[in-house]
Amino acid sequence: MDARRAAARRRGPGAAEIRRALSAPGDGAERAAAATAGLADAADAHGLLDVAYATYESPVGSLLVAATPRGLLKVSFPLEPADRVLGRIAAEVSPRILEAPARLDAVRRELDEYFAGRRREFDLELDWRLTRGFRRRVLRATARIPYGSTASYAEMASRAGNPRAFRAAGSALGSNPIPIVVPCHRVLRSGGGLGGYGGGLATKDYLLRLEGALPGPEPEEPAR
């Protein structure tokens, strides 16, 4: 780290920028939003923003999405409290977390396209740090299941290198930190049953019907 960057870290993230944002024209909410954006920009410029997060309003509810410079780190459903999600990220990745929607623009755009039926593959870099070992191998294999296709828990265990560990594969899928983008909704029981899903079975059914992987009518948005 050079002397200038070290000095910037000691000074903290851009107090001048935040003061300007707080004194800008507009109502309190607008100034607060501007200040938040200014803080995120300043923290990023000073090398202090390790994790950016935002809220994404989807047909399956309000999702929290978080990313690092490595890529998309987390997508969480409404069933998982935001404070718990952010607490885990702080403990396992970095406590330098800020709400910075602009940093998630590419993620939100691709999710928009997916839910509109215009995107079949995500082109996002992924940060796998919230999973490891066998679980990570299961999820990496899951990421390769094509749009509109399904696989079984036993198949995913086999693809991850341990054909007998189908229960462990199910546990890995149940704790998937990047659902939808890593499409664990495409993994079903061997008999074709839905199995479980972190976002709820109504959400799993919706996603599968959206992709045409289940027969029947057009999907209806799950009740929230």
The dihedral of CA 71, 84, 221, 205: what is its sign?
A: positive
Six-digit token pair at 11? 């000074």
- Contacts for 177 with CB less than 8 Å, ≥ 6 apart: 73, 74, 75, 76, 130, 131
HSE, CB side, 13 Å, CA atoms: give it for residue 44: 17
DSSP-derived pairing of the beta strands 151-152 and 97-99:
unpaired
Taking the C-alpha atoms of residue 106 and residue 124, their distance in angstroms, rounded to an integer, is: 8
Give the whole-angstrom CA distance, residue 120 versus residue 113. Answer: 9
Diameter of the chain measured on Cα atoms: 63
Our answer to whether residue 105 is catalytic in this structure is no
Helix or strand or coil: residue 215? coil
Q: Using CA atoms, how far apart are residues 80 and 153, in angstroms rounded to an integer?
A: 23
Taking the CA atoms of 78, 140, 194 and 130 in sequence, report the sign of the dihedral they define. negative
- What is the Cα–Cα distance from 24 to 37, expressed in whole angstroms? 13
Catalytic site residue from 64, 178, 184, 210: 184
Active site residues per annotation: 184
